[in-house]
A = this chain, B = another copy of it.
Amino acid sequence: MNVSGAIHDLRALLADPDRVTVNETILEHHSHDLTYHAPHLPEAVVFPTDTQEVSRIVRFANENGIPVVPFGVGSSLEGHVIPVRGGITLDLSRMNQILEIRPQDFLVRVQPGVTRSQLNQALRRHGLFFPVDPGADATLGGMAATNASGTNAVRYGAMRGQVLGLEVVLPDGRIIHTGGLSVKSSAGYYLTGLFVGSEGTLGVITEVILRVYGIPEHTAAARAVFPDVESAGRAAVALIGSGMTVGRVELVDAKTIVAVNRFKGTDYLESPTLFLEFGGGRKAVEEDIRLAEELVNSEGCQTFVYEHDPEAVAKLWEARHHAALALMAMAPGKKMMTTDVCVPISHLPGALHAARELMETRGMDGFILGHVGDGNYHAGFAVDADNPEDIARAEEVNAAIVRYALERGGTCTGEHGVGMGKRKYLPEEHGEAVELMRGIKALIDPKGIMNPGKVIPD
């Protein structure tokens, strides 16, 4: 059945028929993500407001073989939300209620369309926060779907570690609940973890139970400048190995600092720089900073600056936060491509070095940012999405960066997910295990309606 003939039926499934739309502007808005991936229009966009509506729409789509693509705010980076085979885009932004905050249990229940800043705003008055910070103000449903992480992951872990339970609408419309309200469980197969990171290919997440954390009494940040990426990498390993609790450990390479200085008019030393954050009791943090300074100095740190004042802390992090912006600002009209490999931590300095070289030999500008504590880093390039040669060149660098990681036991994607962009690397990374993934997909979504063309290679 084609969707245009089914609009009437779809409208009958919702309390308000206006929440099914074929408006051109809205279709266009749901045709792309933030990157260079080629856009494709959905045939209709549906805005459900509760789980029952999601269930009815998905069951209808399944019965009629219509593709369904769940959509949060569209901030993903590998084409996850692009409806490459048309069909229905299920925009979950109106399912944005914080259902429950349980401060004494350090958990919340939210609908999938709640964004992380919306959640953090609501948590603040309880002295709590949600730590996963992928940069974009993504929805929590989308962050669960891609197993997002970000700069805080070294201390708090990625999204999968925060999700205690899910409500999921399966492709046949059944509604299941995985996990629960307890912090840990060994009760049966880990379905919660299977759906986290499944990128909308196994069902639609309609509710998320998340861990939240006490805001540390005090937070301080430091910037440590090194003569080269290698010594910065060694310093990061020393910090992690010390057993101290580091909040964030981020590396920005010299060329990226140059771009930031040009963009922001700042005068940061144009050398590889580690950005650090520590949180806890005030005196414990002071002691952490002192110990960190000792450790990084013994690895050749040239300048160590730290700040306790919240505004100064925010200012200190600006160079890190604005790196991608700085690059894109210098390339108006272009689209972003960002790599996302993760390597064993000791390989990170070598990987960063190799990535910069790969870019330079092709005359490409770009940022390089590393979540050093995790071995995950991003090389980002501005590409002309209308120029196949430009894209081919960028993809070649991306492929070389992925190969470098896979040869060292790493992964093609640390936190962005597979989407369209990384499908081709799964067989090399996982071998025979991809067949098991394919079996699970076929078990749960036998008609292949859920986000087709994503994750599992053809």
Chain A residues proximal to chain B, CB less than 8 Å: 102-107, 127-128, 146-149, 153, 157-158, 160-161, 170, 174-178, 180-191, 193-194, 196-198, 202, 213-217, 237, 240-245, 279-281, 283-284, 287-288, 291, 340, 342-347, 374-376, 405, 408-418, 422, 425-426, 429-434, 436-437, 439-441, 443-444, 455-456
A-B contact list, 27 entries, CB within 8 Å:
A105-B344, A106-B241, A147-B184, A157-B157, A157-B161, A158-B186, A176-B431, A178-B430, A180-B410, A181-B344, A182-B375, A182-B376, A182-B411, A183-B374, A184-B414, A184-B415, A187-B422, A187-B426, A187-B430, A188-B437, A189-B437, A190-B196, A215-B243, A242-B281, A243-B279, A244-B284, A283-B287
Contact, CB under 8 Å: A180 / B242: no
Nearest-neighbor residue (CB-CB) of A422 within chain B: B187
Ranked nearest first, the 3 interchain pairs of A and B with the lowest CB-CB distance are A181-B409, A104-B346, A216-B243
Contact, CB under 8 Å: A186 / B413: yes
Q: Which of A180, A422, A429 has the most CB of B within 10 A?
A: A180
Contact, CB under 8 Å: B187 / A158: no
Q: Closest CB of chain B to A442's CB: distance in Å? A: 9
Q: Which of B107, B176, B182, B193 contacts A193 (CB 8 A)?
A: B193
Q: Which of A422, A425, A443 has the most CB of B within 10 A?
A: A443
Q: Which of B102, B375, B415, B436 contacts A191 (CB 8 A)?
A: B436
A182-B410, A281-B287 in contact; A437/B191 too (CB < 8 A)? yes
B residues within 8 A CB of A176? Answer: 431-433, 436
A175-B432, A176-B433, A430-B188 in contact; A182/B409 too (CB < 8 A)? yes
Q: Closest CB of chain B to A178's CB: distance in Å? A: 5
Q: Which of B245, B291, B343, B411 contacts A187 (CB 8 A)?
A: B411
Protomer copies: 2
Nearest-neighbor residue (CB-CB) of A148 within chain B: B186
A107-B344, A240-B106, A281-B244 in contact; A187/B429 too (CB < 8 A)? yes
Contact, CB under 8 Å: A198 / B187: no
Contact, CB under 8 Å: A147 / B409: no
Q: Closest CB of chain B to A432's CB: distance in Å? A: 5
B residues within 8 A CB of A202? Answer: 189
B residues within 8 A CB of A149? Answer: 184
B residues within 8 A CB of A426? Answer: 187-188
Contact, CB under 8 Å: B444 / A436: yes
Q: Which of B174, B181, B374 contacts A184 (CB 8 A)?
A: B374
Contact, CB under 8 Å: B190 / A160: yes
B residues within 8 A CB of A244? Answer: 216-217, 280-281, 284
Q: Which of B186, B245, B345 contacts A414 (CB 8 A)?
A: B186
Q: Closest CB of chain B to A222's CB: distance in Å? A: 15
Contact, CB under 8 Å: B439 / A342: no
Nearest-neighbor residue (CB-CB) of A414 within chain B: B184
Q: Which of A174, A185, A433 has the most CB of B within 10 A?
A: A185
Q: Closest CB of chain B to A205's CB: distance in Å? A: 14
Q: Provide the bound-state CA to CA distance between A197 and B280, in Å.
A: 33
Contact, CB under 8 Å: A280 / B245: yes
Contact, CB under 8 Å: A213 / B243: yes
A105-B345, A243-B280, A437-B188 in contact; A180/B287 too (CB < 8 A)? no
Contact, CB under 8 Å: A346 / B431: no
Q: Closest CB of chain B to A59's CB: distance in Å? A: 14
Contact, CB under 8 Å: A182 / B414: yes
Q: Provide the bound-state CA to CA distance between A285 and B410, in Å.
A: 35
Q: Which of B186, B242, B346, B417 contacts A105 (CB 8 A)?
A: B346
Contact, CB under 8 Å: B443 / A187: no
A185-B414, A189-B198, A216-B243 in contact; A433/B161 too (CB < 8 A)? no
A217-B242, A284-B284 in contact; A433/B178 too (CB < 8 A)? yes
